[in-house]
C-alpha cells in the first residue's frame, strides 16, 4: 500500500504554517503538483469509492459491512492491554462477534479512560501511530492516536463526498474562516494563502465592522467557489451585511451548532446551499445532511453509532465505535455529544472571548490539536474584562510546571497581542450546578 505523503509530512505542518507567504506558496504549489495517489495514499481512493457506493446500500448491505468492520476493530482492540482486561471482565470474545446486537455486551469507553490509560489502549506498530490531541468544546484535553495512512485519508475522502452533495469538486477554490492564525497582531494581516489546497485562509480573530471591507475585498479578489466557516463566523458576516460581487456555490459549516432557522437565514442571504455536518477529531463517526434536508445522517461505513438513554428533552448521547483505526480503536466511545430527536447535534451556545478592540473569538478556535494540553485533566477560560483572560488548568498528578511556557505560547499564538493572559493551576475546574464542565466562565455579553 502506498503510504500517505500527507501523513508523513504532517509533523512539518507547523513549520509550513510559520513560513513566509512566498515560501508557503512555492512549496504548496510544488506539493499540489504531486499526484493525488501519492499525496493521499492508496487508502484515499479506497474510501472515496466506498463512500460513493455506500450511498445506495440497503439495510442488509449496511449490516453486513458494519458487522465485519466492528469485528475487525474488536480484534485489533483486544491486542491492547486495557481492552484485553476489560473484555475478559465482560466475558466477551471479539472473534465470536456475529451480530450488531452483541456490541451492547462490550464495555463503554470514556474520555477519562483515554486520558488515564491512553498508552494501554494502543496496539500494533508504533510507526503506524499519528499522535493527535483535542480539547473539544468540553475543555477536557484528550490525546489519542490515529492510524497513519488510513484515518486522515479516510476523513478527506468522506468529507469530499459530503461536500460534493452541494457542488464541491476536489481542487475548487475555498475560503476558510475556521480559527486559522494569519497574524498574532491586532492590526496584522487578515489572510494567507494555502497553496497546498488552493484555500484562502481568513482570520477568525480580526473580524470586526472596522475591518470588514478588507474581508470583502479579499473574498472578491479570490472569488472562492465555497466558504468553509464556523457557523458563528458565517453568521457574523451575514449580520454585518456582507455582499459579494460573485455567487458562492456553497457554504460548508461545521464544528459548532447550527439551527435550522440560522441555516435558512444563511442560505437566503448568500443565495447558496449550506452543508452542515457533524464529526470530531477522534474520527469515530461522521454525519451529514442530504440536499434539501435539515436532519443529519450517519455515514454507515465510516463508523458505528449507538445512542444513550434519552434525557428529559429527548436528547441522547452519541456513542461511537470507530472503523479502520487499528492502532487505537475506540469501542463504544462516549463522545459527550447529544443527538436530538430531530436528527441534529445539540451544541453549546456560541461562546466568545472578547479582545480589547472588540474582536469576538469563538471558543471553538481555541481547540488545540497539538500536545500542549497533554497531562491536563481539564482547561477552562475565565473572562470578566475585554482583552483580559485567565486560563485555569487542572493537572494530572505527574504534571510538570515546565509545560506552562508551551501552553502560554500556544494560547497567545491564537489570542494574539490583543489579550493579556494569566495561567492559574487549580485543584478542580468550576462546574455547573448539574456537575457539567464549563468551557468558559464570563460576565461579558457578546
What pLDDT, on the 0 to 100 scale, is given for residue 16?
87
- Per-residue model confidence (pLDDT) at position 133: 83
Residue bearing cell 461522521: 286
Q: Cβ distance 48 to 162 under 8 Å?
A: no
Provide the CATH number for the domain formed by 352-442 in this structure.
Answer: 3.30.300
Instruction: Determine the Cα–Cα distance for residues 339 and 315; give it in Å rounded to an integer.
Output: 5
pLDDT the model gives residue 435: 65
Q: Rounded distance, CA 21 to CA 361, Å? A: 24
Cβ(359)–Cβ(444) under 8 Å? Answer: no
Domain boundary assignment for the chain: 5-41, 352-442
Please name which of 346, 348, 378, 300 lies closest in space to residue 140, comparing C-alpha atoms: 378
pLDDT tens track, the chain, 446 positions: 456 888 888 888 888 888 899 999 999 999 999 988 899 999 999 999 999 999 999 999 999 999 999 999 999 999 999 999 999 999 999 999 999 999 999 999 999 999 899 999 998 888 999 998 886 555 677 889 999 999 999 999 999 999 999 999 999 999 999 988 888 888 899 999 999 999 999 998 888 889 999 999 999 999 999 999 999 999 999 999 999 999 999 999 999 999 999 999 999 999 999 999 999 989 999 999 999 899 999 999 999 999 999 999 999 999 999 999 999 999 999 998 999 999 999 877 788 999 998 888 888 887 766 677 878 888 899 999 999 999 999 988 878 888 899 899 989 988 889 999 999 999 988 877 666 678 899 999 87
d(CA 277, CA 290): 10
Orientation of helix 81-90 relative to helix 111-121, angle to 10°: 120
Per-residue pLDDT, 75: 98
C-alpha closest to that of 8 among 47, 34, 26: 34
Q: What is the pLDDT of residue 1?
A: 47
C-alpha cell at 333: 466511545
**For the packed helices 231-239 and 260-270, what is the interaxial angle rounded to 10 degrees?**
50
Q: How many CB atoms lie within 10 A of CB 239?
A: 11
The answer to whether 253 and 284 are in contact (CB under 8 A) is no
Amino acid at each position: 500500500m502506498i503510504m500517505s505523503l500527507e501523513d508523513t509530512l504532517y509533523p512539518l505542518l507547523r513549520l509550513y504554517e510559520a513560513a513566509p507567504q512566498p515560501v508557503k506558496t512555492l512549496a504548496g504549489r510544488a506539493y499540489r503538483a504531486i499526484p493525488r495517489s501519492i499525496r493521499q495514499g492508496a487508502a484515499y481512493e479506497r474510501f472515496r469509492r466506498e463512500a460513493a457506493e455506500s450511498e445506495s446500500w440497503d439495510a442488509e448491505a449496511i449490516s453486513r459491512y458494519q458487522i465485519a468492520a466492528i469485528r475487525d476493530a474488536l480484534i485489533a482492540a483486544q491486542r491492547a492491554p486495557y481492552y484485553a482486561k476489560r473484555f475478559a471482565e465482560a466475558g466477551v470474545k471479539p472473534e465470536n462477534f456475529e451480530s450488531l446486537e452483541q456490541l451492547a455486551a462490550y464495555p463503554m469507553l470514556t474520555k477519562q479512560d483515554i486520558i488515564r490509560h491512553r498508552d494501554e489502549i494502543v496496539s500494533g506498530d508504533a510507526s503506524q501511530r499519528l499522535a493527535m490531541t483535542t480539547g473539544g468544546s468540553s475543555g477536557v484535553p484528550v490525546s489519542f492516536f490515529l492510524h497513519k495512512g488510513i484515518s486522515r485519508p479516510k476523513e478527506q475522502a468522506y468529507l469530499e463526498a459530503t461536500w460534493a452533495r452541494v457542488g464541491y469538486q476536489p481542487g475548487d477554490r475555498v475560503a476558510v474562516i475556521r480559527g486559522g492564525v494569519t497574524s498574532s497582531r491586532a492590526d496584522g494581516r487578515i489572510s494567507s494563502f494555502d497553496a497546498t489546497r488552493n484555500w484562502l485562509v481568513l482570520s477568525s480573530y480580526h473580524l470586526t465592522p472596522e475591518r470588514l471591507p478588507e474581508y470583502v475585498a479579499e473574498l472578491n479578489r479570490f472569488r472562492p467557489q465555497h466558504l468553509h466557516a464556523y457557523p458563528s463566523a458565517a453568521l457574523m458576516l451575514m449580520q454585518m451585511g456582507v455582499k459579494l460581487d460573485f455567487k458562492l456555490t456553497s457554504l460548508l459549516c461545521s464544528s459548532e451548532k447550527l439551527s435550522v432557522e440560522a441555516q435558512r437565514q444563511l442560505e437566503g442571504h448568500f443565495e447558496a446551499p449550506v452543508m452542515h455536518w457533524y464529526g470530531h477529531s477522534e474520527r469515530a463517526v461522521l454525519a451529514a445532511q442530504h440536499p434539501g434536508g435539515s436532519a443529519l445522517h450517519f455515514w454507515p461505513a465510516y463508523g458505528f453509532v449507538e445512542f444513550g438513554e434519552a434525557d428529559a428533552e429527548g436528547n441522547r448521547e452519541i456513542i461511537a465505535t470507530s472503523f479502520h483505526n487499528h492502532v487505537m480503536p475506540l469501542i463504544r466511545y462516549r463522545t459527550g455529544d447529544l443527538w436530538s430527536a430531530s436528527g441534529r447535534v445539540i451544541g453549546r451556545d456560541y461562546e466568545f472571548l472578547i479582545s480589547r478592540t472588540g474582536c469576538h473569538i469563538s471558543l471553538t478556535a481555541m481547540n488545540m490539536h497539538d500536545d500542549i494540553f497533554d497531562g491536563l485533566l481539564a482547561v477552562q477560560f475565565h473572562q470578566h474584562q475585554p482583552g483580559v483572560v485567565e486560563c485555569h488548568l487542572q493537572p494530572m498528578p505527574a504534571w510538570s510546571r515546565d509545560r506552562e511556557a508551551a501552553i502560554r505560547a500556544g494560547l497567545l499564538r491564537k489570542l494574539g497581542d490583543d489579550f493579556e493572559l494569566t495561567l492559574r493551576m487549580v485543584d478542580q475546574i468550576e462546574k455547573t450546578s448539574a456537575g457539567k464542565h464549563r468551557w468558559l466562565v464570563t460576565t461579558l455579553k457578546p
